[in-house]
Amino acid sequence: TEKNVTSKVHHSLLRSLVDKLNSIEAQVRVAQPTTGRMVLRHYDVLHHPDFPEWEEAMCELQKIDLGRMDETNRMVFGINLYNLMIRYGHLKLGFPDTVEKRQQFLSQTKMLLGGNSSNNSNNSNSTNHHDTLLSFYDLEYGILRANQKPGHYSSVAPFAKKDPRLGLAVSRVDSRVHFVLQRGGGGRKLSLDDNSIIHDNNNNNNNTSSAASGTAAGGSSSSSYCSCQCCPVDFLRWIS
């Protein structure tokens, strides 16, 4: 179907972006003199000669319309997009040093995707095409967690009833999504150069649960949330 073909193209784009970033990071990683542990300095990644070209390739994400994906593919793509954008945010903004800055980053740093053509019968505006602006909270709690309230972060669901983005929310919460989102902080130690990506085989038997069943490869790394500089121009240049 047209949706499956479109989804394959989107998954392929995201895969290529992840692979290229992994390649750049692998080239600049160096061993600590005292421990021999391989470390990655964000400065080296940002000044790699291939990084500007990689950032330009990220502009292609502006063309992606989540509303044209079926729910399974939207879940798969949303998870991988979240993980890639977290890495990109870390590179551009650095790590936060307080819980408050971490929350500000997740709620105030936003990404801009293409028009939303979702068809949600509960939303009279859902057939309008418009750009979709999403914070990390919007993507996680609004879409991947079926418009669930972000717990102690907020008592309000990300999308109101008349919010056109509500049509992008999956129909039910799959708690396993928690284990495939790369946060890189607290008790969840995930590698900054994580190679994992969840694939959708476009099998007719796939469902939302199976889309969230993969897990990110574990690794040892320091906390990796970027400090909040709300929507800085250099970070959102390619999506604004």
Residue 183: pLDDT above 50?
A: yes
Per-residue pLDDT tens for 144-175? 999 999 877 788 999 999 999 999 999 999 88
Per-residue pLDDT tens for 126-143? 434 357 889 999 999 999
Give 200 or 156, the one with higher predicted confidence. Answer: 156
Helices (H) then strands (E): counts for the chain:
8, 4
Per-residue pLDDT tens for 46-90? 999 999 999 999 989 988 899 989 999 999 999 999 999 999 988
Helix/strand/coil for 22: helix
Q: What is residue 58's predicted lDDT score, i.e. its pLDDT?
A: 92
Residue 239: which pLDDT band, with cuts at 50, 70 and 90? very low
Q: In terms of C-beta distances under 8 Å and separation of at least 24 residues, what long-range contacts does 5-10 make, across chains too?
A: 6/68, 6/69, 7/69, 7/70, 7/73, 7/77, 7/200, 7/202, 8/202, 10/64, 10/69, 10/73, 10/77
Contact 110, 81 (CB under 8 A): no
Q: What is residue 172's predicted lDDT score, i.e. its pLDDT?
A: 92
